[in-house]
Structure 1
């Protein structure tokens, strides 16, 4: 009986090369250090100015819409007369972004060494995402950046963890869901997307006890997380170990901010 349960829990592999979907903030760099506080402050101020509300009301709207919709922008756009593009540009523009960035040493080598295709999947706007990737020296390693503007369809703005949005983008990129590996710091996104059959990696090295994660670092691995790592270096080491253990299997792991 134990063997039967173990077999059911094994992720299905399509046999293709892995396709890595990397979240951006608190995954490829340490956004909680300076960038997330600045974004959250800028969003609150934007809501104060646009809606003429007190700071405590603006903070409640920002956090409430993030929890309800996955990104504060979606709630603001749905319930208030704001310009989504102006909002995204305003709250993601910094005079000295380079000084705010913190990332793992040898980040480019770590990403380049992973087998398969690589993409960025982020609820941030494309302009900000590309500036961050450029400053980190890793933009060329990703074949595409799927940012929040690209997640929008003809009916509405969408964001992670919207399932239909991810299916659409994976179909457009010719990626079988069984080949996709999402590396992400937000547990709620991993939980939703695990249901689609993708593999999930929870990176916790940039999280803090006050962060929005469903669980805190060091408290175990939820059932919908295939691997829990502290750093991208750990991801590479785990991938190498997987290849040694199962050389014929596609190499892959086994089983935030408020925008």
Structure 2
């Protein structure tokens, strides 16, 4: 990959960082994943919903639990659960994000645990696709035949090697604290996007928002425009 552009390497999460996924998309994904589990594992919907939630809590991604315990084909799961008819109609971003991204010096990538096709649909619908040098999706997070999505430290290390940069040059802009903690441990700078945190009913981020900034978070923002001041 090119090394000529000055400035840091920006790594942006997608859902609840570049758009309000809690508003509509996460609900659609929950329904889609539950239906997939019920159909493929031949279990009742309540059990499928339990497995979806349980694997998300235990492994950080429902997909990892399904692969480990049921031998589900990861690519089949990602494709069918992210078809999401009408996805674009429910997307909500921010009017000033495009200008804010274009003003940032350095290379910019989307780093998401979602599949590439879904990420492209979202970025195109938001008008942000041309703001980034590339999309690093879950398909890029395979190591030795296994998926290693965020917050896996090994994946972050492999990513740094792929981009040919030292972690200190990288800035992770992300809404999920567990991902930031892992990145910080490798020397990356971390920025906590809190624009949509209060609407997100899952995870510890909701309570932390009110009380404190964790030591492994370098800055917290509610607008991409604030990134120029970092």
TM-score, normalised relative to structure 2: 0.91
Q: Which has the higher contact order (CA 8 A, sep 6+)?
A: 1
Q: Name the structure where helix makes up a greater proportion of residues.
A: 2
Higher Rg: 1
Q: Corresponding residue for 1:225?
A: 217
User: Distance between the aligned counterparts of 1:222 and 1:82, measured in 2?
Assistant: 36
Which ranges in structure 2 are unaligned for 5 or more consecutive residues?
1-5
Report if aligned partners of 2:197, 2:205 keep a CA contact under 8 Å in 1. Answer: no
Aligned to 2:3: none
Count the aligned residue pairs. Answer: 223
Residue of structure 2 equivalent to 1:97? 87
Unaligned runs of 5+ in 1: 1-15, 240-252, 254-259
Confirm or deny: 8 A CA contact 1:119 1:145 kept in the other structure.
Answer: yes
Note if 1:22 corresponds to 2:12: yes
Cα distance in 1 between the residues matched to 2:183 and 2:174: 11
The structural deviation recorded for 1:106 is 2.1
TM-score by length of 1: 0.81
Moved over 6 A (4+): none
Secondary structure of 1:28 counterpart: coil
Give, in whole Å, the separation in 1 of the partners of 2:45 and 2:87. 25
- C-alpha distance in structure 2 between counterparts of 1:209 and 1:72, whole Å: 21
* Distance (whole Å) between structure 1 residues aligned to residue 219 and residue 52 of structure 2: 30
Tell me what 2:110 maps to.
120
Structure-2 separation of matches of 1:46 and 1:188: 27
Shift of 1:174: 1.3
1:146 aligns to what?
136
Superposition CA RMSD, Å = 1.5
Once the 2 structures are TM-superposed, how far is the Cα of residue 32 of structure 1 from its aligned partner?
0.6
